[in-house]
Structure 1
Amino acid sequence: MNKPLSGKTILLGVTGGIAAYKAATLCSRLVGLGATVKVIMTEGATKFIPPLTLQVLTRNPVATDVFDEREAAGVQHIDLADAADLAVIAPATANILSKLANGLADDMLSTTMLATTAPLLVAPAMNVHMWEHPAVIENVNKLASRGVTFVEPGTGQLACGYVGKGRLAEPDEIVDAVVKMLIGEKPLAGKRVLVTAGGTVERIDPVRYITNDSSGKMGFAIAESARDRGAEVTLICGRTDAAPPNGVRVVKVDSAMEMHDAVMKRLPNTDVVVKAAAVADYRPLHRAAHKMKKSNESLTLELVRNPDILQAIGEWKSEAAGRDKPYVIGFAAETTDLEKNAIDKLIRKKCDLIVANDVTESGAGFGTETNIVNVYGALGLIERIPQMTKRAVAERLWELAQSGMNAAKSAGDGKESER
């Protein structure tokens, strides 16, 4: 399974600031994108986060001491320097900025940074007055003039109590900068992607409702992957088991009607729609204003059909004469006749791709960390994706979708040239 950073080695330096704890999330994100991450920590950094944490997350030993030579066959800081495709320091204190700017080499990190020829990405974090100090400004300018790339600190509440510029950029911002430096322009840059996720909630009364087992994890993985590929992502989500990903525009809804309205409102300004939400087919005809009390031995609920959001998208798309038509990816959660039902849905709802899974299969479907799917297009089965994490499935889906979009664009360009 290809990942954006597969085959890339990132040397991550962590220095002694309170933001060092964010290095754990940064490591996790980079490893999840396929990178090999090797960490060097300063002595100060180890006071804030134990090296074992980053060792477990990266599955590589963490270097802390220039004199701790573990392999007699090589010199550790030189081996690390030579292996790196990119060096990253996050968080970077004022101290390490001074060392880098002036060529000091008095610990493992600064020594390795002098020895590497890899590009360097620096994410500073410090008190607002330190960040604005003339000496720090001079060091930053000196490093920038040598080609060092910076992810500037954000503005907000700092650990010292001040409010201002100096807090470490969020891990997702740093990851975006890493991906841009290592693989260049992102394949979905400039694309507006709309993703639906989670289950809808159809209220019976103020305390009871009809829903389903959808966790939202597949939709979240698709939104994250699109974000990392450069897209502007809007995530419309119903009931989910976890918080939505950072770096995307989130629209929270409850019912199928609310999700329908939210999707259709944004459709004219969307390039790709991925409808991964599990939407209730029916809703109660009458919703009680107050909690229903027990009365009879049985209760009959009259249900009415909800709008079919994917059908509405397909119809809007087919009527979009003179407009750019969005590329539409639907999902089909089935328990029988997977291929027959998926292809039928693809045709009836005018999708470009249908992602189908058998939710009775172990390792697939609702609530799991993994999925097993078949992807269908106009010519039938495109690919069977075996069991893997939902994020890995999302990466492959975007690769297939991008191929489909490129093919459609080439066909459209060919028709234009014939006129």
Structure 2
Amino acid sequence: MLIAISNTPRDYAWGSPTLIADLEGREPTGAPEAEVWFGDHPGSPAEVHDGSDRTLDEWLPAAAAEQGVPEKLPYLLKLLAAGAPLSIQVHPSKEQAVEGFAREEKAGVPRDAGERNYKDDNHKPEVIVALSDTFTALAGLRDLERTRTLVDALGDAPAVQALRDRLSGDDALRSAIGWLLGGAERAEIEEIVDAAASAEAPQFAAELALTRSLHSAYPADPGIVVALLMNLVELRRGEAIFVPAGVLHAYVAGLGVEIMAASDNVLRGGLTPKHIDVEELLGLVDFRPAEPPFLRPVAAGENAEIFAPGIIDFALGHLEAGAPGRVDLRGVAIALGVAGETVLTGSSGARIAVRPGQAALVTPDESPLASDGGGEVFVAMPGA
């Protein structure tokens, strides 16, 4: 079966008022539109347009009894539109999520409490592919020598020297981030931010400009300085990054297609007024410096490619515009149009057309899924 599904944008404050509306070819509402969820996550399940009046979290269990499909999806597909920076955050591994969730359940922490760290017992690795011409993100911790060079360019203010001292010692990045989030005074954060705002370092011009921009959005937030320790990444349209457990990251600006494991576990590390559990965060972060975690697609059939990070939860197929394409499915899939109009055809001959922002649920018996090449489509599915 190929069945249309839909959802309404979520109005988080950081959302863009125009990016999703422009993609869908409609007038903006005037409100921020941050994410559209295509999945069965209970936080915002998609509506299934088959006349049953059910949401996808209701439809799948019924279909499981009749057709043998899984009762739940292992992934969640989203359109994400960042008009302002999201919080710096990290996600737990599966083992950490199971342990943390059980601990907070035993302690009786309400699941909707602001100080709750683990909303479920699952990990939350994620991939984002840029749809806008550029998509700006922070992803992972920069090479330590380059970070020391950046900090050296900030001068000799006492707070800058305090940061420099921590970056020169053992376990440098853990020490620096722990101090910034849990020990530094507001005046010290402001002093470092002011130093960055006036610094001249051409090789770090983009990082210093981002510091000034973040200070406008989140005055004196310690996350501004944490961001100075991270890789600044500017994706071109069609490029992607993969964020596994433990990797600090933040999406800064742009429109993208995001796929993740079906979880809501987020521990924040700055650029937010929300709760930050510094000790728990430091226990999850991978403090090893690394290059930005780019994920390149591999060929996956006729005029098709797949972003496959090698995990069981998800993979993201991509059918390009301009020529007919075909992709093999792994389980229940969701196809999302992002450009033009595409007619999708399953192996049974069932057909459905999708335009930008429109999505279809595709059952496994319709594999392989073919496109007529009229537009561009991303196809979420379980991983290998």
Q: TM-score range by the shorter chain?
A: under 0.3
Normalised to the residue count of structure 2, the TM-score between the two structures is 0.25
Structure with the largest fraction of helix: 1
Which is bigger in relative contact order (C-alpha 8 A, separation at least 6)? 2
Normalised to the residue count of structure 1, the TM-score between the two structures is 0.23
Q: Could you say which structure has the larger radius of gyration?
A: 1
